[in-house]
Amino acid sequence: MKEQEQITSISLKQYAEESYLNYAMYVILDRALPNIGDGLKPVQRRILYAMSELGLDAGSKYKKSARTVGDVIGKFHPHGDGAAYEAMVLMAQNFSFKYPFVDGQGNWGSQDDPKSFAAMRYTESKLTKFANLLISELKSGTVDWQPNFDGSLLEPVIFPAKLPSILLNGTSGIAVGMATDIPSHNINEIIDATVHLIDNPKSQLVDLLKIINGPDFSNNSPIIASKDELNEIYSTGKGGFKAQAQWAQDKNQIVINALPYQASGSKILEQIADQMLKKKIPMVVDLTDEGDHKEPVRLVITLKSNRVNAEDVMNHLFASTDLQKNYRVNMNLISLKGGPKVFSLADLLKEWLVFRKETVTRKLEHRLDQVNDRLHILEGLLIVYLDLDKVIKIIRESDEPKKDIITAFKLSDIQANAILEIRLRQLAKLEQIKLEQERDALGAEQTRY
């Protein structure tokens, strides 16, 4: 008689709570929030890793984007191809990412309509040089690896980023019960601030804000934020600021040549045209979009005459159109402990430096292990070079040459294998000199590590 199966009864309330909590944690940790170490969400990391495995580095030829997306969803990210391709497109758009990770060829959308990119079968792509800062040390023992979704392959848990990437490109994401909004920053300012923290670990926020002037988007639109607003953003990790269009007056025309981050030129033209129809801005008589490939943003507003105050017109348009936009800041990241946390600027950079120090230490330890292993083999080779005739005799006459070599020369198993694998033509005096030179060089490297 079969044993009765154990059936556990739980209330619907308890089941719903546990299931929703599991789902919430999955969205927070595995989809919506970036990791402080490399500043990437899992889908972005998988795209870049798949591209590096395909050999699509900055110096290689372009390949069809469909090839990359196929590898991403087939090997690492079992979700829709559309979602994976859209994440890839964002990393290629220089108006979305200040320092793009993907170098795209073809139609990758425009600032006016970011979703107007061509299908993945038409576009081609490879990695940018900037992406190398994230993945160049990946095979140097720097990070942990984990099985992919079906356990057939390994993928990196995180990239060994050489820079605090999250502050350079920024990000936004909506999880369950929390969100993240981090603006991009200037690479030189972030590097200088990070180096300053290495040299002066006890530096305060006031010292860092002498180096970092504030957010810095991929276009030239000026940031509008007071010192108090910036201080609140960087001390608490939360706050807000504004960005305005960049403009200049040319006789009776206002020329706008930079829009706020993620503002649409066509939508702004519609907003201004609507006000012209409703007679809300009688001082404006014409409106044209003169943008082209050389100058993508060039909106021209023609005024009634030179006597109209252009600044008053622009102040009105800033208040009533997307020529001025508000931006939230919420520096919510997955910390090194593995959970979400809102960081101040100083805490974020200090925690990233802990990550970087661990990465560099692991890289040096990995290389030291390689040096030690090679030196061990070289020591064995140099021992047998002192009596090559004896080695050759053992190999020719012995039934168990490996065992006899170990006994005769007091070598390890690894050293004996290396000797048995050596080619006959390498058993020359010149090779002994080369081995001694290699041993000396590696010995110096070992001492340095």
| Sequential DSSP letters for 298-350 | -EEEEES-TTS-HHHHHHHHHHHSTTEEEEEEE-EEE-TTSSEEE--HHHHHH
Place of tokens 């972030």: 190
pLDDT at 423 over 80: no
pLDDT at 4 over 80: no
Instruction: Categorize the per-residue pLDDT at 429 as very low, low, confident or very high, splitting at 50, 70 and 90.
Output: low
Residue 150 is predicted with a pLDDT of: 93
Over the chain, what is the mean pLDDT? 91
pLDDT average, residue stretch 374-395: 88
Whether residue 139 sits in one domain with residue 19: yes
Helix/strand/coil (H/E/C) assignment for every residue in 190-231: HHHHHHHHHHCCCCCHHHHCCCCCCCCCCCCCCEECCHHHHH
Percent above pLDDT 90 for the chain? 71
pLDDT at 430 over 80: no
Whether residue 407 sits in one domain with residue 259: no
Closest CA to 348 of 362, 330, 363, 361: 330
pLDDT at 1 over 50: no
pLDDT average, residue stretch 411-431: 80
In terms of average pLDDT, the best of 203-207, 217-221, 350-354 is 350-354
pLDDT average, residue stretch 137-150: 94
The residue ranking higher by pLDDT, 447 or 23, is 447
Residues spanned by the domain of 88: 12-180+334-355
* Number of structural domains found in the chain: 3
Whether residue 433 sits in one domain with residue 312: no
Residue 415 CB contacts under 8 Å (≥ 6 apart), including other chains: 376, 377, 379, 380, 381, 383
Whether residue 166 sits in one domain with residue 49: yes
Whether residue 411 sits in one domain with residue 440: yes
**Chain segment 61-98, per-residue pLDDT in tens:** 999 999 999 999 999 999 999 999 999 999 999 989 99
Query: Is position 223 within any domain?
Result: no
Catalytic residue among 122, 234, 261, 385: 122
List the CATH number of the domain containing 430: 1.10.268.10
Whether residue 414 sits in one domain with residue 309: no
Whether residue 77 sits in one domain with residue 145: yes
302: its two tokens: 């023609």
Query: Is position 279 within any domain?
Result: yes
List the CATH number of the domain containing 349: 3.90.199.10
- Give pTM, 2 decimals: 0.89
Is 23 designated active site?
Answer: no
Whether residue 142 sits in one domain with residue 72: yes
